[in-house]
Amino acid sequence: MAGKPVLHYFDGRGRMEPIRWLLAAAGVEFEEKFLKTQDDLARLRNDGSLMFQQVPMVEIDGMKLVQTKAIMNYIASKYNLYGKDLKERAIIDMYAEGLADLDEIVLYYPYFPPEEKEANLAKIKDKARNRYFPAYEKVLKSHGQDYLIGNRLSRADVYLVQLLYHVEELDPSIMANFPLLKALRTRVSNLPTMKKFLQPGSQRKPFDDEKCVASAKKIFS
């Protein structure tokens, strides 16, 4: 029997967080080996574990996978979170890529200097309210079913709900005009695997600017 996937990253959200969410949605238990110093990262680089000298890296099924999208695509394919055919897969990819555009600025928000945070928060709110959230609200309204791809959970739903949580942490009122997104968040959050992941003390990483930035600086600066 294959062991649990092992996640190599620092103790924070970053680019590993959507992978954690996807594994949780699939009901897959995983282990984490946190990088704490530059030496920890150097060891992975020197032993050939990092193809492009970068983390995140996930050990799974005898592979050492790098690149966030490649990792997520593999997990989604393995655990039936990637649609039923090529057409659905293309649409899921399109939805996920759209989310990545917004997630990029949310991801880097903790690292902006204090004097730049206000402007970047305004940018996040504008993009969420006026470009991205309306697009996904429209998708859900167009077919009236439970998830972005009909009545079947996909990696796009998990990624979207993760981002909804993260943006709400920055602006609790952000979803006031998006009832279908709120319903999707509730629906996904109530799935047994996700309920467990969303409980305090789980492997979900909290929003903590100072801890996240300090952890990353020890490794990457």
Q: What is the pLDDT of residues 98-124, one digit of tens each?
A: 999 899 989 888 888 889 999 999 999
- pLDDT value for 1: 44
- pLDDT value for 62: 95
Which architecture, in CATH terms, is 6-79+196-220?
A: 3-Layer(aba) Sandwich (3.40)
Q: What is the pLDDT of residues 183-207, one digit of tens each?
A: 999 999 999 999 999 999 999 998 8
Tokens of 47: 């032993």
Query: In terms of pLDDT, which residue wins out, 190 or 150?
Result: 190
Asked, colleague to colleague, whether 6-79+196-220 and 86-191 share their fold, the answer is: no
Report the SS3 class of residue 89.
helix
Phi/psi at 116 (5° precision): -105, -10
Please list, in sequence order, all residues whose beta carbon lies within 8 angstroms of the beta carbon of residue 29, skipping any fewer than 6 positions away: 4
In the chain, where are the structural domains located? Answer: 6-79+196-220, 86-191
Phi/psi at 4 (5° precision): -70, 145
Order of strands across the sheet with 31-34? Answer: 31-34, 6-9, 57-60, 63-66
Average pLDDT score over the chain: 93
At residue 213, does pLDDT exceed 90? no
Q: What is the pLDDT of residues 156-174, one digit of tens each?
A: 999 999 999 999 999 999 9
Distances from the Cα of 32 to the Cα of 56, 125, 166, 176, 201, angstroms? 11, 32, 21, 36, 14
Which architecture, in CATH terms, is 86-191?
A: Up-down Bundle (1.20)
DSSP E strand boundaries for 10-141: 31-34, 57-60, 63-66
